[in-house]
Chain A
Amino acid sequence: MLRTSVSRCFQATNTALRSFSSGKDNLPVTRSHEAKKIDVNDILETKSPKVPVNVSSDETMDIGGVPSAHQEARTARIFRPAREATQSPWGNTKLWRIELDNRQRWENPLMGWSGTADPLSNVSMDLKFATKEDAIAFCEKNRWEFDIEEPHERQIKPKNYGQNFAWNRRTRIGTK
């Protein structure tokens, strides 16, 4: 009861204070029960269509800063990753990826950490492509040779629960 009376007091003070404001400000006073819901799309600007920017292959190559020993003569493998054997979902197998040839890694003598001279060793980590053609375009832009592996599509062979109980077939399961 104390709480409600305090809040009522509070509301009254607010209203009272508002009445003390001079008319010069003309600020809109919104009360919570008057708030109207506006659709998000009314507020956002209309999306302008995305225009692809054409970048010539020479340009990207030269400004990259990768030493030529690790940019030339690389072979890329374009593939769709296999499903992880340890899990059942197929979500990670949908996008195309590029993997470059693995270059030498050695043990750094100071701390035993793994060192490599190859600045492109992490290219395959987050680079994913929606289609094979996008991946090919990327490889061509970087002047890498590429091999494309056709993906193994998932084969779904019909199964049925009844074969566990078939009286004349070897698929009959006697135990759990």
Chain B
Amino acid sequence: MQRIVRGVATKAQQQRQLSAAANAPKKVEVFIDGKKILVDPGMTILQACALVGVDIPRFCYHDRLSIAGNCRMCLVEVEKSVKPVASCAMPVMNGMKVKTNSDFVRKAREGVMEFMLNNHPLDCPICDQGGECDLQDQAVAFGSDRGRLQSRLDGKRAVEDKDIGPLVKTVMTRCIQCTRCVRFANEVAAFPDFGTTGRGQDLQIGTYVEKFFASEMSGNIIDICPVGALTSKQYAFVARPWETRKTESVDVLDATGSNIVLTHRTGELLRVIPKINDDINEEWIGDQSRFAVDGLKVQRLLTPMIRGADGQLKPASWEEALFTVAAKLRETSAEQKAAVVGGLNDVESLVALKDLFNRFNSENVMTEEEFPETSGGSDIRANYIFNDGIANVENADAILLVGTNPRFEAPTLNARIRKSFLYSDVQIGVIGSESELNYDYDYLGASAKAIDDVLSGKGEFAKTFANAKQPLIIVGAQALKGEAGAAILGKLQQLADKLSAGKNVQVLNVLQRWAGQTGALDVGYKAGTAALRKTPVKFLYLLGADEGKVNKSNLDPQAFIVYQGHHGDAGAQIADVIFPGAAYTEKDGTYVNTEGRSQRGYPAVSPPGEARVDWKIIRAVSEVAGKSLPYNDLKEIRQRLNEIAPHLARYRDIEPSPFIKQALQLAQTSGSIDVDVSPALRELADYYQTNVISRNSRSMAQAKKAALENKENPYAEAPIHARL
């Protein structure tokens, strides 16, 4: 009856723990408020207190950014020190006695808070951060009840608002100059144009010359800012945090499966903010994941539609649509049926569709995205997942990126590569396009021929790569297309095999572009729509397939096309019958990310109009067509998932995939790999609208426009975004 979902330590974590234990430095003894703890000597007092459970107030300190120590709110009293000590910066020393709640500390905090509020505008009623504002909470908890500012006589300073794009709203008067955004921009997002100008009271934060915050992680400065200086333009003046409900779920707009929290109220989704998951996305999510949710309110399929005799799609009832489709399903023979799925689907609907087709003796179920069939194809799991785990990127010594631009394909993975670039001596090489990445890299060429060079040890990077203790190859799923893709995969597996000897990393990792792809391959879908073109297809079932890989010319002229999805895009245009499905925020779904980690998404709102949850529609079709599928509710279909692939029911774990040697044996290593593996997403403007939800999103359209204008002329005087 109960099901325990575990978060067992991944292999990488276990390995780190072991190594940490093996060469752990001698711990130092610290007394915090009388409690004694033993900590590693590299820690700061604030972190040591956090270990005990004492949360010291702070504004500028952030777990994932470098230490600044300029807000002074974290002051604590250390015995034998006359002055209070900034606990975020001071490292612990043996025998240190720290008091975090003495009168001295309280007075210090009240003083700091008073100074901070002296120049802060009285914007709480109109500020979006009200209710989730660090300054408000800390003023109540640690500030004094009165201030001494004579605002009639001295006044408060005011700062002009800076325009940094259509996504982030700035009210710089509210800024308390904690510089978290500056450190984030410089360290994590690699946008060094964001900084501080002036000193003291005249310190202003911005880009100095008005510029677009050209980074795919720009939305994270909204979360980071402790006050309402940087807020979301999409969410401005929409809601207060206490009237919203939060549902934790998973993001499907890219393949990393970042954990998100859906904020909703009275059945309306308001915004998406990240949820901390140290294994996948830390605390960040990309701009698309954050802002594209306004695309879920427009261009939705709300009723089933049937194309009438005049060729126009007209709304119909569920009965009519289901009976029409079921009749056609029964009429066509098994070889003439096919199903094509897109990349935003949950595994439940994929399983239901495959089961439906199998009951009609058809195996013609495929994904839009291609994957080679050599090396065991999608039968051997290690071929198509991110074998080492996203968290392990931090431990890498050398990274080779082949045919992928992780900056725009998986921004949170890229943030990890950037993190490892900053904190260690990792060397990065890129085979593909020479686009602007967050880190310095060796460009090895656009053609995949360069893999041969690395294999044979030619070139500087190849030597570093061969000698690295933890090398990593990240290949984009897009580079593995067609004949050449098979050969590239084979060559990379050879290289990985050579390098992983004696090390505990798999080395070869495939970065998928679509959230539903790994799940589809796990469940048994064929990759790529090539099979469609071999035999004429009379009945085509499109499940969210909107990337235009299938059009009418590939099919029989009298083909009957059914489209099941949530937006009216390319797929719905060519369909004969449309079933309205639910988007990822509206259904319980299981999603497998590119690491092979299965995660659960929960619904925040109900599917709008007459739309229904996807797998239930397919179950209804099966019932009407006469071959009912054996599951009626969520529990039963999850049992079916468990039958097919047990990892789908074991949430939040990565499981290592075996049979790598066998994959190598089946690999195709001959054949020319002299193809251009430049990824499709090369610059920021390409990033914003890559899937059906973000193509329909106004925020993303505005951001794309701003990015294009920025490319042309970064210093344009005119407003650089469309109206709010």
Identify the A interface with B (CB < 8 A): 73, 75, 77, 79, 81-91, 99, 101-107, 113-114, 116, 124-125, 136, 145-150, 152, 154-164, 169-171, 173, 175-176
- Chain B residues whose CB sits within 8 angstroms of the CB of A147 once the complex forms: 2-5
Inter-chain CA distance A83–B268, complex, in Å, is 22
Q: A83-B276, A102-B247, A148-B4 are in contact. Are A176 and B421 (CB under 8 A)?
A: no
Q: A88-B58, A88-B226, A136-B2 are in contact. Are A106 and B267 (CB under 8 A)?
A: yes
Tell me the interface secondary structure of chain A in the complex: loop
Inter-chain CA distance A127–B530, complex, in Å, is 53
- Beta-carbon contact of B606 and A104 below 8 Å: yes
Most chain B CB within a 10 A radius of its CB, from A103, A107, A170: A170
Interface string of B693-710 (1 = CB under 8 A from A): 000000000000000000
Q: A89-B137, A156-B50, A161-B44 are in contact. Are A102 and B634 (CB under 8 A)?
A: no
Decide yes or no whether B645 CB sits under 8 A from chain A.
no
Decide yes or no whether B67 CB sits under 8 A from chain A.
yes
- Beta-carbon contact of B195 and A105 below 8 Å: no
- Beta-carbon contact of B5 and A152 below 8 Å: no
- Chain B residues whose CB sits within 8 angstroms of the CB of A99 once the complex forms: 247, 602
Report the minimum CB–CB distance from B370 to chain A (whole Å). 35
- Beta-carbon contact of A156 and B91 below 8 Å: no
- Chain B residues whose CB sits within 8 angstroms of the CB of A88 once the complex forms: 58, 62, 134, 226
- Chain A residues whose CB sits within 8 angstroms of the CB of B423 once the complex forms: 169-171
Inter-chain CA distance A158–B67, complex, in Å, is 11
B residues 243-298 near A (Cβ < 8 Å) are 245-248, 259, 261, 266-268, 273-278, 283
- Beta-carbon contact of A152 and B186 below 8 Å: no
- Chain A residues whose CB sits within 8 angstroms of the CB of B6 once the complex forms: 150
- Beta-carbon contact of A75 and B634 below 8 Å: yes
Of all chain B residues, the one with the shortest Cβ separation from A121 is: B245
* Chain B contact residue count (CB 8 A cutoff): 70
Identify the B interface with A (CB < 8 A): 1-7, 40, 42-44, 47, 50-51, 55, 58, 62-63, 66-67, 69, 89-91, 129, 132-134, 137, 179, 182-183, 186, 192, 195-196, 222-223, 226, 241, 245-248, 259, 261, 266-268, 273-278, 283, 421-423, 588, 602-606, 633-635, 651-652
Of all chain A residues, the one with the shortest Cβ separation from B48 is: A156
- Chain A residues whose CB sits within 8 angstroms of the CB of B51 once the complex forms: 156
Of all chain A residues, the one with the shortest Cβ separation from B92 is: A158
- Beta-carbon contact of B196 and A176 below 8 Å: yes
- Beta-carbon contact of B47 and A156 below 8 Å: yes
- Beta-carbon contact of B7 and A85 below 8 Å: no
Of all chain A residues, the one with the shortest Cβ separation from B51 is: A156
- Beta-carbon contact of A85 and B261 below 8 Å: yes
- Beta-carbon contact of B606 and A106 below 8 Å: yes
Q: Which of A79, A154, A171 contacts B66 (CB 8 A)?
A: A171
Q: A85-B223, A106-B267, A161-B67 are in contact. Are A148 and B634 (CB under 8 A)?
A: no
- Chain A residues whose CB sits within 8 angstroms of the CB of B422 once the complex forms: 170-171
Q: A87-B132, A152-B276, A171-B423 are in contact. Are A145 and B605 (CB under 8 A)?
A: no
